[in-house]
Amino acid sequence: MNTKDRIVECALQLFSKRGYSAVSVEEIAKNVGIKAPSLYKHFKGKQAILDAIVDEMNCRYIKTMHKLNISGSDALMDVSKLSIISNEQLTNIGKYLFSFFIHDEWIQQYRKLLVLEQFHNRDIAQHYTNQYFKDPLNYLESLFSSMMDNNQMHVYNAKIIAMHFYAPIKQLIDLCDSDAQFENEALVLLEQHLQQFNALYRVEEHQL
């Protein structure tokens, strides 16, 4: 690992434990084993380090979505694939993504950073809201709206259905963040949630 990568990794570890505002550039440099002036050879400042953390997080997310042959951000592109998968495939995708979010150390630490810092930094609070609430809900709303238009889901308020789908999953992730031993129970609840969601909202001939 080169010095630049070490700086980013060390900064993320510190930010996730104490928050972005509480950690100085000098402290990051010290934990990396370099002097602060050396750090500035790689980054203009702490914000640039945070930007690098966000870039890496986005890269990991995109790679994971591509493994599943979906974009995870463009609902119109994904609807043709997600609307025809089987119940077993849906469950497997759900478990795979859930495992990614709770086990990928980078993603986990990044989420803790956002949770800690949202009360001290307006930009980070907005980023947390977008990353874990607005963006996924907008994606799901668009996805479900398209499926309704294709008569693959019963017609309801797509925004509310998106909340019905996403809120329990986010809660299970949060519970696993608080208690790692909850994971096995969370996976059972996740599977039950996906199956019940399918039974409630999918048109019978298109049920997963």
Taking the whole predicted model, whether its pTM rises above 0.85 is answered as yes
Percentage of the chain exceeding pLDDT 90: 77
Q: What is the CATH number of the domain that holds 159?
A: 1.10.357.10
* Average pLDDT of the chain, as a whole number: 92
**pLDDT score of 208:** 46
Q: Is the confidence at residue 39, as pLDDT, over 50? A: yes
Does 27 share its domain with 93?
Answer: no
The verdict on 105 and 10 lying in the same domain is no
Q: Residue 89 has what pLDDT? A: 84
Does the residue 59 lie in any domain? no
* Shared-domain flag, residues 23 and 116: no
Say if 43 falls within a structural domain: yes
Tell me which residue of 116, 168, 164 sits closest to 140, measured CA to CA: 164
Q: How confident is the model at residue 205 (pLDDT cuts 50, 70, 90)?
A: low
Name the CA dihedral angle for 131, 128, 15, 180, rounded to a multiple of 10 degrees.
-70
The mean pLDDT of 40-69, rounded to a whole number, is 93
State how many domains the chain has.
Answer: 2
Mean pLDDT calculated for residue range 174-179:
94
Residue spans of beta strands (DSSP E) within 78-199: none
Q: Is the residue at 63 inside a domain?
A: no
- CATH number for the domain harbouring residue 37: 1.10.10.60
Specify burial of residue 10 (Cβ count, 10 A radius: 0-12, 13-18, 19+).
buried
Query: DSSP for 42-98?
Result: T-SSHHHHHHHHHHHHHHHHHHHHHHTT--SS-HHHHHHHHTS--HHHHHHHHHHHH
pLDDT at 159 over 90: yes
Contact in structure between 8 and 28 (CB atoms under 8 Å): no
Instruction: State the average pLDDT over residues 12-35.
Output: 95
Residue numbers of the domain that contains 33: 1-53
